[in-house]
Structure 1
Amino acid sequence: MKHTAIENVQFRVGKWLPSDQIFLEKWLEGLVEEVSDNVKPLHPVIEAFKELIEEDAELFMLFNQMFEQVPAKYTMSPAGKPQVRDYHHMLQMINAVMTKAPEFDSSGLVGLPINAILDWSMGTTGGFTAFLNDKVNVQLKRILNEWGVFLKSQESCEVLSDQGWFSEAALKALCAMDPYQKADSIDPKQNFIDNFKCDPQKPYWGFTSWDDFFTREFNEGRRPVASPNDDRVISNACESAPYRVATDVKRHAKFWIKAQPYSLQHMLANDCLAEKFVGGTVYQAFLSAKSYHRWHAPVNGTVVKAYVQDGTYYSETLAEAYDPEGNKESQGYITEVATRALIFIEADNPDIGLMCVMPVGMAEVSSCEITVYEGQKVKKGDQLGSFHFGGSTHCLFFGPHVKLEFDLHGQTPGLTSTNIPINARIATVQV
């Protein structure tokens, strides 16, 4: 794919998309050129999506409106070339990216290409309605699952090379995300080898697919568990940056408004256990595209219930309108509507009692795989599951009786915070 390098490109939260709108538009321009020069038959799941749009009167209207409603100034690239013009064009572009694995590019990382294709249209009223539609989300799940099959194939290893994700620039970028390694003098290749299970002597360093690389595991001892025998200490469930700490959380709230307050009944998918957390505390943190993508238990305890709740994939709060960073600004909103895993754990510490870990998928990063089962005993630091194709955001829920002193490693929660290591202490229960 052709695209223009831009020096010092800035990124949106989690570094999934460039915050520089000009870079994003140039990346899209490259994809537009590729699709125009090489029109391919639609993959069967894309063809099925096309049929769904055209055979359902409401969806046909919405998928036409979402492109018509994009302001004219956003439908052309900086060079005056058309971007995503209509749903036919959208489908061709999705068709082009779903047989590719994301490449590392030091000039800018578009880790969510479908999200980039829909960047403006999903912020319209037509897009907002369409991407909340159950039938649309069922088909999007099929598309993403099919893409996931490719990302788990040997063919997807092509981008794992000395010119790709194992290049000096890529390894340096991955090293920079390590909260324990901030010095510029550190050898980034050695840092990766020390951190992760791999074998640089093997093809693709021993990784069997793109998905295998993205769900890479730490070597033993690289992320020590904070106070493993102290049940008062709560450890970080994901290698993530703190976004928000909310207390006295309500059962119902207008989560779609600008402030995006948490709405427990919706976040917890109307689960009967939701009432246990009314008036309690929610901690939310977001993951980086270049970080570790597995989830670990934050407490010692027993898994009470664990399941995946299907939801949306490309819905962002309409309160952000045409904000180019609307996806970033929807961090709170997506916890109520997006695909997410719910893992309820009865902590050994009675001062905690029932708590919940909720990893939340976002756009392409919506495959939540739970690897624990109901009734299983877990220790702090044990793996609970993983995202596939990267990571998104996650929440921890605590009941109203739990008094917590948070340790966010000197940071104020927000969109500019940085990663706290997984298994590190993030809070201590106060008696």
Structure 2
Amino acid sequence: MRTSKRTPWGLTAVLLAALSCLAASPVQAETAIEPAPYNVGRWLPSDQRTLTAWRADLTQDGDASGDEPPLAPVIQEFKALIETDPELFMLFTQMFEQIPDEPAFEKDPAGGPQARDYHQMLALMNRVMNRAPEFNQTGLVGFPINAILDWSMGTPAGTTAFLNEKVNRQLKKILTQWAVFLGSPDSRYVLSDDPERGWFGRDAMAAMPTFVEDFICDPAVPYYGFASWDDFFTRRFRPGRRPVAAPDDDAVIANACESAPYRIATNVQLHHPFWIKAQPYSLAHMMAGDPLVEQFVGGTVYQAFLSALSYHRWHSPVSGRILKTRLLDGSYYAEALSEGFDPAGPNESQAYITQVATRALVFIEADNPDIGLMAAMFVGMAEVSSNEITVYEGQHVAKGDQLGMFHFGGSTHTLIFRPGVNLEFDLHGQTPGLHSENIPVRSRIATVAGPAEDAVPQ
């Protein structure tokens, strides 16, 4: 049994306590609050008061007797899958048993009880199906299903279960069903002026002071004119708010997403044990064995992650022709076992999930011959259940044109270049890593200085 190397915080199965009576009063819970570490992309709650409030809200969804609502059909299917498949029954039993029997794992950071079996997991997932993300000052969006699974997906059994094809096929059905609600007018209840929880309330507007100037919306009409939560989430910039860097200079590469630099890797190999601690890139797995993969061996990968308050559409980093697009099914809640128990999982597994998660792959033949064929890959993480590609094979795109978008969530993305492309990165004074800040979409992130004379494909 592994032991935790970190102090638990943030994403620690906050919603699981909704299935039980609170073990402590609000006053007792508040006395246990401690400062939380930095929250990557601000997707996950880092304030224990926020966690307590989420738990209380979900607890109130049940009736006074504590009875749970009937499981939705897609959740019932998941239960049947677990209970009729011997391997999955073992894994979904063991993943909770493998959570260390230690004080740090007995309760979530706000003092609530930690669920220990898949029945509680399913009940909490069931409650998420008709809720939209509310604003809060620290968690901001939050991944509620990810919260339910956080400790369990860091166990050996969880690592195996959440890579299982049947499990991910069912999770896709669950997330797709949730997306129906998030795309409906009913989901707009969070697009309110509630001072603390509404996306157009006091706290949200303080966090996004230029929202009206930045995005296409109309504050004079209900919900600022957005038709659903998803419509709000996939909002567009007003013309001119994110100009394209050097639109007539094909040597300048533009940022594909409103994102923060995470990693730059060179001499990337075709095959590599990506599950080890360093999480090196394995091109064959990233591109799912695509016939074009050999051209990128020995090349460069740039990776960056999105922020919760940001913009979630993707744009072309170069001008060129769309050679091929692929939507790749994969995992939703897998994390690298080598990272131990990540209390904000899978944030510390971002390089790993580029090889196993659900993702969209776009190959572009750049107009600039010093770039030639390149690839952009947009990786769904946790609740990001839909990667939508909006370009077609054979289409010519200008630098900065839209390629697609994430629906509910943001995640991480990579730009992949062949060997011999001589890149000079401009990360706006930052060092890549979990503490970096967003670089505006369509701004300069690199310049091609012509082919490297000594570059030899490997």
Q: TM-score range by the shorter chain?
A: over 0.9
* RMSD between superposed Cα atoms in Å: 2.0
Deviations 1:305-339 (A, max 9, x none): 01210000000000122232341110100000000
Q: CA deviation at 1:410?
A: 0.3
Aligned: 1:425 with 2:450: no
Look up the SS of the partner of 2:355 in the other structure. helix
SS for the counterpart of 1:212 is helix
In the other structure, the counterpart of 1:166 is: 200
| Cα distance in 2 for residues equivalent to 1:32 and 1:78 | 17
Residue 29 of structure 1 and its aligned partner are, at CA, apart by 4.3
Structure 1 contact 11–18 (Cα < 8 Å) conserved: no
SS at structure 2 position matched to 1:417:
coil
* Matched letter for residue 282 of structure 2: S
Counterpart of 1:368 (choices 374, 380, 387) is 387
What is the aligned partner in structure 2 of residue 228 from structure 1?
247
Please give the alpha-carbon distance, in whole angstroms, between the structure 2 residues aligned to 1:51 and 1:170.
41
- Residues 351 and 107 of structure 1: is their aligned pair in 2 closer, same or farther, counting only changes over 3 Å? closer
- 1:290 deviates by 1.0
TM superposition score normalised by structure 1: 0.92
- Give the structure 1 partner of residue 90 of structure 2: 61
Given the alignment of the two structures, is residue 141 of structure 1 paired with residue 172 of structure 2, yes or no? yes
Tell me if 1:386 matches 2:405: yes
Q: State the partner residue of 1:179.
A: none
Quote the residue 2:296 is aligned against: 277
Unaligned 5+ residue runs, structure 2? 1-14, 19-25, 451-458
**Could you tell me how far apart the structure 2 residues matched to 1:202 and 1:33 are?**
33
Shift of 1:75: 3.0
Question: Per-residue deviation at 1:77?
Answer: 3.7
Check the 8 A contact 1:340/1:358 in 2, yes or no.
yes
2:159 alignment counterpart: 128
Instruction: State the distance in 2 between where 1:7 and 1:277 align.
Output: 46
- What code does the residue aligned with 1:100 have? R
Aligned positions of 1:15-30 closer than 5 A: 15-19=42-46, 22=48, 26=52, 29-30=55-56
What letter corresponds to residue 115 of structure 1 in structure 2? N
Q: In the alignment, residue 69 of structure 1 is paired with which amino acid? A: Q
Q: Indicate conservation of the 8 Å contact 1:8/1:107, yes or no.
A: no
Equivalent residue letter for 1:349: N
Aligned match of 1:331: 350
CA distance 1:258–1:9, change in 2 (3 Å): closer
- Once the two structures are superposed, residues 43-83 of structure 1 have per-residue CA deviations (whole angstroms, 9 ceiling, x without a partner) of 10000000000000000010011111111231324576422
Contact 1:29/1:77 (8 A) holds in 2: no
Give the paired residue count. 415
2-structure distance, mates of 1:79, 1:236: 38
Return closer, same or farther for 1:210/1:67 CA change in 2, 3 Å cut-off. same
Q: 2:129 corresponds to which residue?
A: 98
| Distance in structure 2 (CA, Å) of the matches to 1:192 and 1:147 | 26
1:62-211 alignment runs, 5 A limit:
62-72=91-101, 73=103, 74-77=105-108, 81-109=112-140, 111-163=142-194, 164-173=198-207, 175=208, 188=209, 191-211=210-230
**Is contact 2:159-2:336 (8 Å) kept?**
yes
In structure 2, the residue corresponding to 1:70 is in which secondary structure?
Answer: coil
User: What displacement does 1:105 show?
Assistant: 1.6
Residue of 81, 93, 97 corresponding to 1:52: 81
Deviations 1:239-292 (A, max 9, x none): 000000111000111111110000000001110011111000000000011110
Alpha-carbon separation, structure 2, partners of 1:117 and 1:318:
18
Letter in 2 for 1:430: A
C-alpha distance in structure 1 between counterparts of 2:70 and 2:433, whole Å: 44
Letter in 2 for 1:384: L
- Judging changes above 3 Å, is the alpha-carbon distance between structure 1 residues 35 and 203 closer, same or farther for their aligned structure 2 residues? closer
423, 432, 435: which is aligned to 1:416? Answer: 435
Structure 1 runs (4+) deviating above 6 angstroms are 1-8
What TM-score do the two structures reach when normalised by structure 2?
0.87
Cα deviation for residue 367 of structure 1 reads: 1.0
Taking a change above 3 Å as real, the CA distance of residues 104 and 11 of structure 1, as seen in their structure-2 partners, is farther
CA deviations 1:79-128 (Å, max 9, x no partner) are: 76422221010000000012100001225335101001111000001111
Tell me if structure 2 keeps the 8 A contact 1:31–1:93. Answer: no
In the alignment, structure 1 residue 33 sits paired with structure 2 residue 33: no
Superposed displacement of residue 14, structure 1: 1.0
* Aligned residues of 2:384 and 2:411 also touching (Cα < 8 A): yes
Residue in structure 2 matched with residue 183 of structure 1 by the alignment: none
Residue aligned with 2:428, SS: coil
What's the CA shift for 1:368?
0.3
1:184 — aligned with what?
A: none
* Contact persistence 1:357–1:396 (CA under 8 A): yes
Q: What's the offset of the Cα at 1:10?
A: 5.1
Runs of 5+ in structure 1 lacking a partner?
A: 176-187
Task: For residue 38 of structure 1, report the CA deviation from its aligned partner.
Answer: 4.8
Which residue type is aligned with residue 248 of structure 2? N
